[in-house]
Amino acid sequence: MFNTILSQYKATLSVFIVLLVIVVLELLQVRAAIYPSLLPAFQWLKNSTPLGYIGTTYGSIYATVQAMHLLTMGTLGGLVLATDLRLLGVMFRTTPSEVISNGTHKAFKVTLIAAVLTGIFCAAGVADKVYYMPVFWVKMLALAAGAAFVFLIKQPLLSSKPHSEINPWIIRGMAITSILVWFTVAASGRWIGFS
């Protein structure tokens, strides 16, 4: 019986195992123990890499890449809103949600890669500053959670069957969670700019 449950509910068990691992690591204060050892890596990124050198020396290049980062984040937000508001039935009602979610997902992958690459450059120029910002870590955590949610949970379910065969409340729940987590990524990013 245990084997049957294990084979039938692999994805669900994986979610709870990941949650359990995170809780155990937090209780053992592993994150707090690792945090100080990350500082040399951030200092190296700023002081000893071409990214850090360009980011701190050439303001025009930094501003250009920063603008590209903002554009990719804006595109990412637009793709997320287009998909999730369609799943909620708020907009694009005449187009099947399968068409929109599959179409935007392809663009989402490319845009996410571009956002991460430009984001690494932007962070390299101010690496020793962002290291001490809690809001930077909130953004990284929200980004990791959002990407994992999209690639491991949301898209596999949405592409597995016609959306009419999925419980609508599950689709709505996923859409609201997706909007909230990507809003957090965007808001935390702007908060880094404000700090």
Partner 1 sequence: MSDSKKIGDKELAAISASVIIFGGVMFHWVAEMISTVELLEMAYGTAKLFNNPLVF
- From the number of C-beta atoms within 10 Å of its C-beta (0-12, 13-18, 19+), residue 55 rates as buried
Position 184 contacts partner 1 (CB under 8 A): yes
C-beta of 55: minimal distance to partner 1 in Å?
Answer: 29
Is residue 156 within the footprint of partner 1 (CB under 8 A)? yes
Applying CB under 8 A, the site for partner 1 has a residue count of 29
Under the criterion CB under 8 A, does residue 60 sit at the interface with partner 1? no
Instruction: State which residue, 34 or 176, has the beta carbon closest to partner 1.
Output: 176
By beta-carbon proximity to partner 1, the closer residue of 59 and 156 is 156
Q: Which stretch binds partner 1 (CB under 8 A): 50-58, 70-78, 94-102, 159-167?
A: 159-167
- Indicate which single residue of 82, 126, 154, 189 sits in contact with partner 1 (rule: CB under 8 A): 154
| Region of 89 on the Ramachandran plot (φ > 0 left; ψ -120 to 50 alpha; else beta) | left
- Beta carbon nearer to partner 1, 114 or 145: 145
3-32 binders of partner 1 (CB under 8 A)? 8-12, 14-16, 19
When the beta carbons of 64 and 195 are compared against partner 1, the nearer one is 195
Among 1, 50, 165, 194, indicate the residue that binds partner 1 (CB under 8 A). 165
CB of 35 to partner 1, least distance (A): 18
Instruction: Please give, one letter per residue, the 3-state secondary structure of the chain.
Output: CHHHHHHHCHHHHHHHHHHHHHHHHHHCCHHHHHHHHHHHHHHHHHHCCHHHHHHHHCHHHHHHHHHHHHHHHHHHHHHHHHHHHHHCCCCCCCCCHHHHHHHHHHHHHHHHHHHHHHHHHHHHHCHHHHCCCHHHHHHHHHHHHHHHHHHHHHHHHHCCCCHHHCCHHHHHHHHHHHHHHHHHHHHHHHHHHHC
In the complex, least distance from residue 5 CB atom to partner 1, rounded to whole angstroms: 10
CB-facing half-sphere around the CA of 68: CA atoms within 13 A: 18
Q: Which residues bind partner 1 (CB under 8 A)?
A: 8-12, 14-16, 19, 138, 142, 145, 149, 153-154, 156-157, 160, 165-167, 170, 173-174, 176-177, 180-181, 184
